[in-house]
């Protein structure tokens, strides 16, 4: 890892090069990072093969090439003083290559852990004493012998959820299984790849915590947000005092910080938790997974806080001091999938933005994607207000106007 020297906004080095921050990936998280960096005065560079990518559209430099292209990586390193990633499935080798000459946050090693559920769960188990929480009971299935052993010796894991070890997100690569026969069929359906079988627990809620940790070990974090998922995709985020029991919220926040510290993490990290009611000794909190980047559930911070998750991402990678973020307004975030752009008969339609944006406290963020598709994240709508009751009232009206799911959970 190249040593970190703070990169100050608007600075120019001896060769006349302006302070530039780079990001691997051109999706909406990269776009919002670029906006945050530019607002501070940085130039930005995006490496992304898609010519129409959301981040590439707004960056000073768009290197249109694959994530593992040596020439593209060399160009990114030449342009930038520090580099990050906007999603965890970028090749870890690309981050290793960049780290030979530039500070990279988060590191390739940490991203590699987040890419693999087997390694991720091993990390959670290793730091359970420090974090005070553990993950759901599970077994690794990488071979036929392991699958047969689980069926014969770990019957307590059923019913469970079989998840691919790699490349699973938004509910993809997951199959619910109730019996040994269903487990065998599901593993075959997933291609016999490395998987994790997790015991299905009595879930009462889901929450996530955003942590920012600097190169010097300084850590700040946001209060937990409560999340509602529909078909494995985030639909609603509740971000306000009282969104979950205070003691549980404090435990989740402390656990997320401990997990980041145990990793020696640098950057913005999101840790997702399950809240369960099974009478066990873990106090109802189970760590589910982590994302080594800003997260969909933290988008409300752009409108409800004095420093957003993307502001903190810029601060961490550039070596700037980390301000403790302060939330000034209660907020609810509604995820906008491509389904909103289609009517009941499947015909393309324009959402009723006039009515939605006439509601008080609405903040619309569209990601610049040129084609709406069912299940595709096209944007989000954050509602802020003077109190929780008024925010909920407006959020229900907005969700109704847009035909969004999750109305019963607002």
Residues contributing to the annotated binding site: 117, 163, 168-174, 198-201, 206, 229, 288-289
Taking phi over 0 as left and psi of -120 to 50 as alpha, with beta for the rest, 232 belongs to left
* Angle value at C-alpha 352, between 373 and 386, nearest 5 degrees: 110
Give first-to-last CA distance, the chain, whole Å. Answer: 45
Distance of CA 67 to the CA centre of its chain: 20
DSSP 235-279: EEEEESTTSS-HHHHHHHHHHHHHHHHHHT--EEEEEEEEEE-S-
Q: Residue 138 and residue 247: Cα distance in Å, rounded?
A: 26
Cβ neighbourhood burial of 202 (10 Å; 0-12, 13-18, 19+): exposed
Question: Contact at 8 Å (CB) between 322 and 216?
Answer: no
Question: Contact at 8 Å (CB) between 61 and 120?
Answer: no
Known binding-site residues for ATP equal: 117, 163, 168-174, 198-201, 206, 229, 288-289
Task: Tell me the three-class secondary structure of 192-215, residue by residue.
Answer: CCCEEEEECCCEEEEEEEEEEECC
Query: Sign of the C-alpha dihedral, residues 180, 183, 189, 191?
Result: negative
Query: Sign of the C-alpha dihedral, residues 240, 245, 247, 252?
Result: negative
């Amino acid at each position: 890892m190249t040593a970190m020297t703070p990169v100050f906004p608007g600075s120019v080095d001896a060769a006349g090069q302006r302070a530039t921050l780079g990001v691997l990936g051109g999706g909406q998280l990269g776009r919002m990072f670029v906006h945050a960096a530019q607002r501070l005065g940085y130039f930005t560079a995006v490496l992304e093969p898609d010519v129409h990518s959301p981040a590439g559209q707004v960056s000073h430099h768009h290197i249109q090439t694959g994530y593992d292209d040596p020439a593209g990586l060399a160009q990114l390193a030449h342009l930038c003083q520090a580099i990050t990633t906007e999603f965890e499935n970028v090749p870890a080798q690309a981050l290793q290559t960049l780290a030979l000459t530039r500070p990279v946050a988060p590191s390739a090693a940490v991203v590699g852990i987040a890419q693999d559920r087997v390694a991720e769960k091993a990390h959670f188990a290793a730091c359970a004493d420090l974090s005070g929480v553990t993950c759901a009971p599970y077994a690794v299935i990488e071979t036929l012998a392991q699958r047969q052993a689980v069926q014969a010796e770990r019957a307590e894991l059923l019913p469970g959820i079989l998840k691919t070890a790699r490349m699973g997100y938004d509910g993809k690569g997951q199959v619910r299984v109730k019996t040994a026969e269903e487990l065998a069929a599901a593993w075959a359906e997933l291609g016999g790849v490395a998987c994790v079988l997790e015991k299905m627990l009595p879930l009462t809620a889901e929450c996530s915590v955003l942590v920012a940790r600097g190169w010097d070990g300084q850590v700040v974090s946001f209060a937990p947000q409560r999340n509602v998922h529909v078909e494995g995709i985030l639909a609603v985020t509740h971000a306000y005092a009282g969104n979950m029991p205070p003691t549980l919220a404090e435990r989740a926040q402390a656990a997320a910080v401990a997990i980041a510290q145990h990793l020696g993490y640098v950057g913005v990290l999101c840790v997702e938790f399950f809240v369960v009611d099974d009478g066990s000794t873990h106090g109802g909190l189970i760590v589910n997974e982590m994302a080594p980047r800003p997260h969909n559930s933290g988008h409300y911070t752009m409108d409800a806080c004095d420093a957003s998750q993307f502001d903190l991402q810029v601060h961490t990678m550039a070596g700037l001091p980390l301000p403790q973020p302060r939330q000034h307004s209660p907020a609810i975030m509604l995820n906008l999938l491509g389904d909103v752009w289609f009517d009941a008969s499947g015909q393309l339609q324009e959402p009723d933005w006039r009515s939605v944006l006439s509601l008080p406290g609405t903040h619309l963020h569209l990601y610049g994607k040129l084609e709406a598709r069912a299940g595709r994240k096209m944007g989000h709508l954050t509602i802020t207000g003077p109190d929780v009751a008024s925010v909920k009232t407006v959020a229900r009206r907005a969700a109704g106007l847009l035909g969004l799911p999750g109305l019963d959970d607002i």
